[in-house]
Structures are given as structure tokens and as C-alpha cells.
């Protein structure tokens, strides 16, 4: 059984990347110079311009990649039936013309919805997004990890074993589709969702056991009003437990308030990214990293703060 699994993994890696990287040939990247992270931005946080102008502006602002959520960009169809090969290839030409990678195609739906009819629709949307990403040339399809209710609301049951088992069961089928299309699929742990910390994410990775499954590391999303004062320990533990499987970084900040933590652009809150970016610089060459919760007015200052920390890390 072990030898068969290894063979399958080698086959999937070959399909995904076009070549096979042997374990013995993978060098430690610590100390690598010139392999800078590729900083980008969540595209729906940018100025509301016509699509082609928006992507040209992203390039002009110095960003190398973008987080694409079709449903949040005015004028871009997002229904599964609209995700044709021609549409994917049109978008791909626009991004390539402007030297902007599609770091992630977002598909942030609830794989733990208990309503079977709704879940069937959700499965179809994931399959369509994965197929579309394979033609678009996206780095991955990304998702959060849901809640065991149709409202996608945080609840105490999110932390139950039953919710985790339900999510893993559905995720396995989605990841197998990603394997078939040669697409990376990434989950983003969030404190208020089913996969709420690094240890739960480790369980998911081990249970699904696919080279096509990775982690989007969004440090702020691991925090809530109960744990944000222990954030340094949380981030260190996350890197220890999930570091090898982190394939993308989300960058934002937070400010605590009466209603919980409010997400803001980098440098506008309490986050210190020094240790995180040191890890990224040493271990994750050329990784895609996208700014979140910026505005057209503050994105440049947020970008410059992150780049300055990265350079000094």
C-alpha cells in the first residue's frame, strides 16, 4: 500500500508541475538570496476600474500577483456555467500581458453545509473552479473551512469532532478533483471556522494525504478576542506544525474593539510581521503573498511597510 501511494503521489506531482522533483534533489532554502517573495494584492481591494484597466494598474503599482475572486470583480461572470475555457484563456492573456500572476482563485464556500441539496451545488462550484483554474494558470484554488450550518456562521459546534470529520470527508472528494486537473488546492485556517488552529489543519493534511493540498497562512485569521494577546506563540506554533505545507501568505493587520478584532491594512494595527517574514524569506522562495483589507488610499503605505520589514528580516 505504501509503495502504491508513493507512485500515485509521484504521478500527481508530475502532472501538476510538468516534472518530478526527487526528494534527494530538494535543497534547503535557508540563506537563499534573491528569491524574494512575490508581493501582490487582493484584486477586489483595488480601484474599481474596468477589468483590463484594473490589472494594468495592479502591474503599475508594482504588484506581481493577485488574489482573484470572480464574484467580487464587477463585470466578471462567476456562475459555474460561465466558466468556459475561452473565458479562462481570455483572463489568462490579460494577466500575462501585465506580468501579474493569479496567485489564487478564491472559492470560499461552505463544505460543511448540512443541507445536502445546498452541498451538491457547492460541490459543483468547487469542481467548476478547479477546472477553470487549470486553464487560467492560477497558482491554486483557495478556500476557508466552513461551519456546520447553512448560514456559514461561527458556532461552538465548529470545534467538534463531528464538524471536522464532515469537512474532511467533503474536502477529500474536492482534492481528488484537483489532483485529476493538476491543480493545487489550499485551505485557510480561521479561528472561527472548523479548522481553527494549526493542529486541526495538521489533522486535515494528514487525513487527506495529497500532494495537491496545501495551506494558505493568514496569521490574523488565526486570532480572535480570546487569543490575540498570545499571537507570537500561535504564529510560532503554526510555522512549526504547518511550515512545510504553507504555499501562500495573506498579509493584513488587526485592531481590537468591542465587537472583536477588526481587520485592517498592514501597519494600521498591532501586528508585527518580523518573525513571519523572516521565516518566509528563509524557507519560501518566490512565494505569493497578497495584501488584504487595503484601500486604494492606503495600499501603497501598507505595501511599503511589508517590503521594509521583509528587507530587514
pLDDT at 145 over 50: yes
Mean pLDDT of 147-162: 97
pLDDT at 213 over 90: yes
C-alpha cell at 273: 510581521
**Higher pLDDT residue, 13 or 148?**
148
Radius of gyration (C-alpha) of the chain in whole angstroms: 19
C-alpha cell at 71: 464574484
H, E, C per residue of the chain: CHHHHHHHHHHHHHHHHCCCCCHHHCCCCCCCCCCCCEEEEEHHHCCCCCHHHHHHHHHHCCCCEEEECHHHCCCCCCCHHHCCHHHHHHHHHHHHHCCCEEEEEECCCCCCCCCHHHHHHHHHHHHHHHHHHHHHCCCCEEECCCCCCCCCCCCHHHHCHHHHHHHHHHHHHHHHHHHHHCCCEEECCCCCCCCCCHHHHHHHHHHHCCCCEEEEECHHHHCCCCCHHHHHHHHHHHHHHHHHHEEEEEECEEEEECCEEEEECCCCCCCCCHHHHHHHHHHCCCCEEEECCCCCCCHHHHHHHHHHHHHHC
**Interacting residues of 15 by C-beta distance below 8 A, sequence separation 6+:** 179, 182
Distance between CA atoms of 228 and 270, rounded to whole angstroms? 10
Tens digit of pLDDT for each residue in 12-41? Answer: 444 444 444 444 444 444 444 457 999 999
Q: 110, 101, 43: which is closest to 71 by C-alpha?
A: 43
- Cα 202–179–175 angle (5° rounding)? 45
C-alpha cell at 8: 500515485
Distance between CA atoms of 270 and 283, rounded to whole angstroms? 25
Q: What is the pTM of this model?
A: 0.89
Mean pLDDT of 102-120: 97
Contact of 254 with 263, CB cutoff 8 Å: yes
Instruction: Kindly report the average pLDDT of the chain as a whole number.
Output: 91
Contact of 145 with 193, CB cutoff 8 Å: yes
Looking at residue 35, its pLDDT comes to 72
Contact of 130 with 141, CB cutoff 8 Å: yes
pLDDT at 239 over 50: yes
CATH 3.20.20.150 applies to domain 34-312: yes
The residue ranges of every structural domain in the chain are 34-312
Q: Measured over all CA atoms, what is the biggest interatomic distance in the chain, rounded to whole angstroms?
A: 56
pLDDT at 138 over 90: yes
CA atoms in the 13 A half-sphere facing the CB of 220 = 25
Distance between CA atoms of 130 and 73, rounded to whole angstroms? 19
Mean pLDDT of 143-164: 97
- Asked which of 20-29, 64-73, 176-185, 229-238 is least confident by mean pLDDT, the reply is 20-29
Looking at residue 34, its pLDDT comes to 57
CA atoms in the 13 A half-sphere facing the CB of 119 = 18
C-alpha cell at 264: 485592517
Contact of 244 with 283, CB cutoff 8 Å: no
Looking at residue 259, its pLDDT comes to 87
**Higher pLDDT residue, 258 or 185?**
185
Percent of the chain with pLDDT over 70: 89
pLDDT at 6 over 80: no
Amino acid at each position: 500500500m505504501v509503495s502504491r501511494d508513493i507512485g500515485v503521489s509521484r504521478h500527481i506531482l508530475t502532472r501538476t508541475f510538468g516534472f518530478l522533483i526527487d526528494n534527494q534533489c530538494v535543497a534547503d532554502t535557508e540563506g537563499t538570496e534573491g528569491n524574494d517573495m512575490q508581493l501582490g494584492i487582493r484584486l477586489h481591494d483595488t480601484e474599481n476600474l474596468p477589468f483590463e484597466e484594473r490589472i494594468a494598474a495592479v502591474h503599475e503599482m508594482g504588484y506581481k500577483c493577485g488574489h482573484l475572486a470572480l464574484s467580487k470583480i464587477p463585470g466578471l461572470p462567476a456562475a459555474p456555467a460561465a466558466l468556459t475555457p475561452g473565458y479562462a484563456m481570455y483572463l489568462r492573456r490579460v494577466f500575462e500581458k501585465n506580468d501579474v500572476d493569479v496567485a489564487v482563485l478564491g472559492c470560499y464556500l461552505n463544505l460543511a453545509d448540512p443541507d445536502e441539496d445546498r452541498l451538491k451545488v457547492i460541490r459543483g462550484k468547487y469542481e467548476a473552479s478547479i477546472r477553470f483554474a487549470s486553464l487560467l494558470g492560477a497558482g491554486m484554488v483557495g478556500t476557508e473551512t466552513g461551519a456546520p450550518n447553512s448560514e456559514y456562521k461561527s458556532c461552538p459546534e465548529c470545534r467538534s469532532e463531528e464538524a471536522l470529520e464532515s469537512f474532511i470527508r467533503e474536502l477529500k472528494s474536492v482534492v481528488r478533483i484537483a489532483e485529476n486537473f493538476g491543480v493545487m488546492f489550499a485551505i485557510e485556517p480561521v479561528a472561527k471556522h472548523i479548522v481553527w488552529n494549526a493542529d486541526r489543519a495538521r489533522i486535515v493534511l494528514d487525513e487527506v494525504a495529497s500532494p495537491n493540498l496545501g495551506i494558505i497562512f493568514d496569521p490574523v485569521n488565526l486570532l480572535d478576542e480570546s487569543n490575540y494577546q498570545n499571537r507570537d506563540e500561535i504564529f510560532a506554533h503554526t510555522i512549526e506544525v504547518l511550515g512545510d505545507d504553507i504555499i501562500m501568505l495573506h498579509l493584513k493587520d488587526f485592531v481590537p474593539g468591542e465587537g472583536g478584532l477588526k481587520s485592517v491594512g498592514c501597519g494600521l494595527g498591532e501586528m508585527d510581521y518580523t518573525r513571519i517574514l523572516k521565516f518566509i524569506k528563509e524557507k519560501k522562495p518566490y512565494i505569493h503573498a497578497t495584501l488584504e483589507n487595503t484601500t486604494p488610499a492606503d495600499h501603497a503605505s501598507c505595501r511599503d511597510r511589508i517590503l521594509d520589514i521583509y528587507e530587514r528580516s
